[in-house]
């Protein structure tokens, strides 16, 4: 498939449903990952403009985007992917590792409830789609920095889906969605050095055809992309990864979210996919 043939498949792309959180209170006020440097200035207006551009791209692609506002004192709330997980019409609440983010949980839960999704909780730490990515009918689950292995087991019980645990070993790639992208139900991209040797072996066996990201792509959080199966919305800085994804037949749409990178998040972090079915 090439870029031209994509235009014919565009109309066939299944509309997605995303939840995004407007970053009206965005800043870097504390340090809970290696990307965050509170001493470096942030520009909330710039973050808002970048976020709006991402939002508008999804809408132009025909996806449904619901928006909630962040709350004062919760500068990381823009990273909606961590707000929970909605799979098969069930919501699994976030159980954040760091106290700074724990007050986000009731706010996201309120949205899930009003949207009609029953909310389940895990005893183990769990940071939503930051660490839990759905590939077809399998869940790839990250652990090592945030989400606990015990939560993987709980999530398998709640969803009834197979959960494959993957261990993250590089603190820059503390959430699975910083080191691995889901391009389609069959295709992923990932950065091998972010994973333990055992987890790399699991990924190689399951996804022999995967796109492999290089250091620069990973360092720009290029893997923190959102694909609807036809279009891959991703960081312009991850040029090689963009080319590789394009070669696999995707239409690459770039949006710069470098202001939001100061908090350690990118495009996927700002996007929670709502999977009603
Ligand atoms: N500052 C946030 C944190 O460390 C960034 C979260 C990024 N989100 C993601 N899905 N990777 O919790």
ipTM: 0.97
- Which residue has a Cα nearest atom 8 of ligand 1? 269
Q: Which atom from ligand 1 is nearest to the alpha carbon of 130?
A: 10
* 47 inside domain: yes
Ligand 1 center to 79 CA (angstroms): 6
Q: What is the pLDDT along the chain (277 residues), one digit of tens a residue?
A: 334 444 444 446 899 999 999 999 999 999 999 999 999 999 999 999 999 999 999 999 999 999 999 999 999 999 999 999 999 999 999 999 999 999 999 999 999 999 999 999 999 999 999 999 999 999 999 999 999 999 999 999 999 999 999 999 999 999 999 999 999 999 999 999 999 999 999 999 999 999 999 999 999 999 999 999 999 999 999 999 999 999 999 999 999 999 999 999 999 999 999 999 8
| Domains: count for the chain | 1
Burial of 7 (0-12, 13-18, 19+ CB in 10 A): exposed
* 88 inside domain: yes
Active site residue 269: yes
CATH number of the domain that residue 106 is part of: 3.75.10.10
* 7 inside domain: no
* 10 inside domain: no
Ligand 1 center to 36 CA (angstroms): 10
Sign of the Cα torsion 62, 219, 133, 22 reads: negative
Q: Is the CB of 264 under 6 A from ligand 1?
A: yes
Q: CA 130 to CA 121: how far, in whole Å? A: 16
* 12 inside domain: no
- Which residue has a Cα nearest atom 1 of ligand 1? 263
| Probe residue for ligand 1, chosen from 20, 54, 76, 140 as the CB with the greatest number of ligand atoms within 8 Å | 76
Q: Is the CB of 269 under 6 A from ligand 1?
A: yes
Neighbours of 48 (CB within 10 A): 17
* 263 inside domain: yes
Closest by CA position to 45, among listed 56, 35, 37, 53: 53
Q: CA 137 to CA 160: how far, in whole Å? A: 10
* 11 inside domain: no
- Domain, as residue range, for 131: 17-273
* 245 inside domain: yes
What predicted TM-score, i.e. pTM, was given to this entire model?
0.95
The C-alpha torsion from 242 through 235 and 192 to 96, rounded to 10°, is -150
Q: What are phi and psi of 66, to 5 degrees?
A: -95, 145
Instruction: Report H helices in the chain.
Output: 3-10, 44-60, 104-114, 149-159, 197-206, 215-219, 239-247, 258-261
């Amino acid at each position: 498939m090439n870029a031209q043939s994509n235009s014919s498949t565009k109309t066939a792309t299944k509309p997605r449903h995303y939840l995004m959180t407007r970053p009206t209170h965005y800043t870097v006020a504390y340090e809970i990952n290696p990307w965050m440097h509170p001493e470096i200035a942030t520009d909330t207006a710039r973050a808002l403009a970048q976020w709006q551009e991402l939002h508008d791209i999804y809408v132009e692609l025909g996806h449904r985007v619901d928006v909630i506002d962040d709350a004062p004192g919760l500068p990381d709330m823009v990273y909606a992917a961590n707000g929970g997980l909605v799979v098969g019409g069930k919501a699994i609440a976030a159980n954040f590792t760091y106290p700074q983010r724990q007050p986000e949980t009731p706010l996201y839960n309120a949205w899930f409830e009003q949207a009609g999704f029953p909310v389940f909780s895990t005893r183990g730490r769990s940071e939503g789609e930051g660490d839990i990515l759905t590939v077809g009918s399998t869940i790839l689950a990250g652990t090592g920095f945030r989400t606990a292995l015990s939560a993987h087991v709980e999530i398998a019980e709640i969803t009834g889906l197979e959960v494959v645990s993957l261990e993250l070993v590089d603190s820059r790639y503390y959430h699975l969605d910083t080191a691995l992208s889901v391009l389609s139900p069959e295709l992923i991209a990932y950065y091998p050095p972010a994973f333990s040797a055992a987890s790399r072996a699991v990924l190689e066996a399951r996804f022999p055809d995967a796109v492999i990201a290089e250091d620069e792509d990973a360092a720009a959080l290029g893997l923190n992309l959102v694909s609807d199966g036809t279009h891959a919305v991703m960081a312009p800085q991850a040029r090689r990864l963009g080319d590789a994804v394009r070669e696999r037949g995707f239409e690459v749409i770039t949006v710069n979210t470098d202001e939001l990178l100061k908090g350690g998040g990118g495009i996927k972090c700002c996007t929670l996919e709502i999977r009603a079915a």
